[in-house]
């Protein structure tokens, strides 16, 4: 097939314009850079191993970094504190190695020193965690400030990210036993009553069942005792699904149209029996049912009339 010269010219120009736009868009993207001062810390804490010159032995030593003190620089740059220097929260004295022993027991800056989390704090105080561990239970135990971020766009990622906050301790014996001498809960066993367990774990957050239901978004910080956790399937699997006030709260807020619940549930990537019905499919099925009964009724009436 022969393509006329002017058409060829238009195609080539369009292609070049597209390439130009893509390149420009990439250039315009704001590039977040790691603050330079962080490089000193990440030189060691950004890796599984670190090296230093031991003046006593006069040799270069290579040691294993405590895995809980390794900072993933990519997660850091994707997190909410991406522009911050380590010393914004940590003491400048950490610049010396070996670190000064007293630094470990010095009071650290906490989240509420910068953020106004009063409403959240009120809910956390009611939480089963706070009741058990008191002030020892701090925000960063769930929200790692080195990587914490708000995931909103991808529902599966949001669920996975949120659940990892819980699993971080509840699925790690070592971390779990920092707080309690109880044995690590066998999550799969304690949740064996839950049908399609893997699907539930992948599509809803732990906090859907393990937090109080109130109108405030901060209530997800009120973790209730396990005896009070939602165990009635109908709480989620119904038209008034509690997920409306939890997992899908933001999604529904964004779409305030008349059929928002139906619409929102059409675009999301999960299926909840009893909760996400499609308004239009419902209407059409009712219409078909209605027409069937109407047809039967009309025929019956004629049968009765004709019999007489």
Partner 1 sequence: MSNTKLYLYPVWLRIWHAINALCIILLGITGISMQYTNIESPLINFNSAVSIHNLVGVIIIASYLFFFIAGIISGNVKHYRLLFKGLLNRLFKQGEYYLFGYLKGEPKPFHITKEEKFNPLQKVSYVAAMYVLVPAVIITGVALLFPEMIIEKFYTMSGIRLTTFFHSLAGFFILIFLIIHLYVITIGKHPLKNFKSIVNGYHES
* Binding positions for partner 1, rule: CB under 8 A: 195-196, 198-199, 232-235, 237-240, 268-271, 273-274, 276-277, 281, 285, 288-289, 292-293, 296, 299, 302-303, 306
Nearer to partner 1, 53 or 289 (CB): 289
Minimum Å distance from CB 226 to partner 1?
A: 19
Minimum Å distance from CB 80 to partner 1?
A: 29
CA angle centred on 163, ends 122 and 173, rounded to 5°:
95
Q: Is the Cβ–Cβ distance between 188 and 231 less than 8 Å?
A: no
CA angle centred on 272, ends 268 and 275, rounded to 5°:
95
SS3 of 54, please?
Answer: strand
Nearer to partner 1, 37 or 197 (CB): 197
Residue 216 to residues 107, 120, 246, Cα–Cα distance (Å): 31, 10, 10
Nearer to partner 1, 164 or 240 (CB): 240
Minimum Å distance from CB 295 to partner 1?
A: 8
Minimum Å distance from CB 168 to partner 1?
A: 25
Distance CA 188, CA 210 (A): 16
Distance CA 38, CA 70 (A): 13
Nearer to partner 1, 41 or 194 (CB): 194
Minimum Å distance from CB 308 to partner 1?
A: 12
Nearer to partner 1, 56 or 196 (CB): 196
Within a 10 A sphere around the Cβ of 171, how many other Cβ atoms? 16
SS3 of 91, please?
Answer: coil
């Amino acid at each position: 097939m022969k393509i006329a010269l002017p058409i060829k010219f238009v195609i080539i120009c369009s292609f070049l314009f597209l390439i130009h736009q893509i390149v420009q868009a990439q250039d315009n993207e704001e590039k977040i850079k790691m603050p330079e001062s962080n490089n000193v810390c990440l030189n060691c804490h950004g890796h599984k191993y670190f090296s230093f010159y031991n003046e006593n032995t006069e040799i270069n030593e290579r040691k294993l970094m405590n895995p809980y003190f390794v900072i993933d620089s990519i997660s850091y740059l994707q997190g909410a504190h991406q522009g911050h220097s380590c010393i914004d929260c940590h003491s400048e004295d950490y610049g010396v190695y070996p670190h000064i022993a007293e630094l470990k027991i010095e009071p650290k800056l906490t989240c509420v020193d910068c953020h106004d989390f009063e409403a959240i704090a009120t809910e956390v105080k009611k939480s089963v965690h706070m009741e058990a561990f008191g002030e020892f239970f701090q925000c960063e135990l769930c929200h790692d400030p080195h990587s914490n971020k708000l995931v909103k766009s991808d529902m599966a990622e949001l669920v996975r990210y949120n659940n990892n906050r819980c699993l971080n301790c509840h699925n790690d014996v070592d971390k779990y036993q920092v707080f309690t001498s109880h044995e690590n809960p066998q999550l799969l066993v304690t949740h064996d009553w839950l049908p399609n367990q893997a699907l539930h774990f992948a599509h809803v957050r732990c906090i859907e069942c393990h937090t109080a239901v109130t109108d405030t978004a901060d209530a997800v910080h009120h973790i209730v005792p396990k005896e009070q956790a939602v165990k009635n399937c109908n709480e989620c699997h119904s038209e008034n699904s509690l997920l409306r006030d939890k997992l899908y709260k933001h999604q529904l807020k964004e779409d305030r149209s008349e059929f928002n619940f139906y619409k929102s549930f059409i675009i999301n990537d999960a299926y909840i029996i009893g909760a996400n019905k499609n308004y239009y499919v419902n209407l059409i099925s009712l219409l078909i049912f209605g027409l069937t009964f109407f047809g039967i009724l009309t025929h019956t009436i004629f049968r009765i009339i004709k019999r007489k």
